[in-house]
Amino acid sequence: MLRQCPFFAAVLLSFITLPIFAEQATPDETAPIDDTISVLPLEDLRVFTKAYDHIRNAYIDEIDDRTLLEYAIRGMLEQLDPHSAFLDESSFDDLQVHTKGEFGGLGIEVGMENGFVKVISPIDDTPAANGGVEAGDLIIKLDNLTVKGLTLNQAVDKMRGERGSEIILTIVREGVDQPFNITLERDIIKVRSVRSEIIEDDFGYIRIAQFQANTALDLEDEYQKLIEENSNLRGLVLDLRNNPGGVLQASVGVADLFLDSGMVVYTEGRLPDSNTEYKATPGDATNGTPLIVLINDGSASASEIVAGALQDHRRALVLGTRSFGKGSVQTVIPITDDRGVKITTARYYTPNGRSIQAQGIDPDIKVERVRVTAVKPRIAIKEADLSGHLKNTDGDEVSSLDDQVETELHNEDSQLYEALNILKGLDLFRRASTPAAEEH
């Protein structure tokens, strides 16, 4: 059999006669983990070469050895977990663009589940988010092409294209009886990592859509803008819902802004370099401003690191629904100048030692996102709405229109509404607990 396949015979001889070292590669160097010699099983290699030889000689179309070996590598990685993958030249470029925050396509963070593309999260202000794609959706067709049988990279390539071109996604959604189509127009995706606003009186809102290289710096800038707009901030909401994650160091930097000291996250793996602790530096940039973190099932990876760290240190209340549960570290290892592999090398743990993997972060206060209808008469008239009513001697009056504003926020975003109410309650409690002498 080996004589029928001389190329693979040479490869096999090199495997059998040389010790095999597991290596962790960086862009600049490779270094052996330890001195342990691992010999590949000869019988299993014979099985592999037999299968390889039959495919090489009998498959209906002729395929060169380089392509077949690449298929073999892809197959090995795809069987490990949903996040390990072979990276060709295009994938390397995509990885670089992704961390910088600009790429072409629909604006969906995806994974694979049972052979179909699963939406982890649509990215804010992209064709996917604006077109109605939701976290948890299963994409079963791209135009008329069935996704089953495609690799994740092949499916992603299919979703990308020229700006302005359209694609039809066939989606299966929990709670919907039949698959349905969504037509999206591709665009250049420029992800704004952080945005902020004053949502009511002295309460601020900061949204992180994705963790990029400069997210921690952007967050600090946005917080300063809030302070300049309102120097009397009494509470802050940090929105990490539908945030698919991103750069690990960015999540550490974000958590560090709210923590005065202590562990942010630590990782454990088989490689010595995979066992790492990340700690906060002294100083809370917000001076202990009451904080609520919003999460949901689209909050993954770096989002879960931040939520878990702030929860364990009791620096914030976490509100919403359980997060996605991606608690693993991927290392990109160059194999050649233009190809490499992305391998899961460690697991994340919160400061209290909780594993995020396949578990996620449970909120302190569980709140589903719902629409609420107030139980009251269709026409709500108050004294302040009556023509010619007596004026309040203090000069303060509240009409039914003010109630309508609150109801609108509740219906638009019930989780944010509840977070705001809790912050108001905390502020009232703090004021009530503060001696009158200290208030003057």
Catalytic residues, by residue number, are 301, 312, 326
Q: Taking Cα atoms as reference points, which of 10, 64, 89, 78 lies closest to residue 336?
A: 89
Task: Give whole-number Cα distances, 72 to 77, 347, 370, in Å.
Answer: 9, 26, 47
Task: Give the other-Cβ count within 10 Å of 118's Cβ.
Answer: 18
Classify 52 as helix, strand or coil.
Answer: helix
Q: DSSP assignment, residue 321?
A: S
Give the integer Cα–Cα distance in Å for 82 and 344.
9
Q: Which amino acid is at 251?
A: S
Classify 211 as helix, strand or coil.
Answer: strand
Pairing of strands 138-142, 276-279: unpaired
Give the integer Cα–Cα distance in Å for 133 and 115.
19
* End-to-end Cα distance, the chain: 91
Give the integer Cα–Cα distance in Å for 339 and 87.
6
Q: What are phi and psi of 143, to 5 degrees?
A: 55, -125
What are the helix and strand counts (H, E) for the chain?
Answer: 12, 21
Task: Give the other-Cβ count within 10 Å of 58's Cβ.
Answer: 7
Q: What angle do CA 301, 302, 303 make, to 5 degrees?
A: 90
- H/E stretch holding 205 reads strand 203-208
Classify 157 as helix, strand or coil.
Answer: helix
Task: Give whole-number Cα distances, 273 to 248, 325, 345, 346, 384, in Å.
Answer: 15, 23, 10, 10, 67
216: left (phi over 0), alpha (psi -120 to 50) or beta: alpha
Burial class (CB in 10 A: 0-12, 13-18, 19+), 393: exposed
- In the block, which residue shows the tokens 């250049």? 188
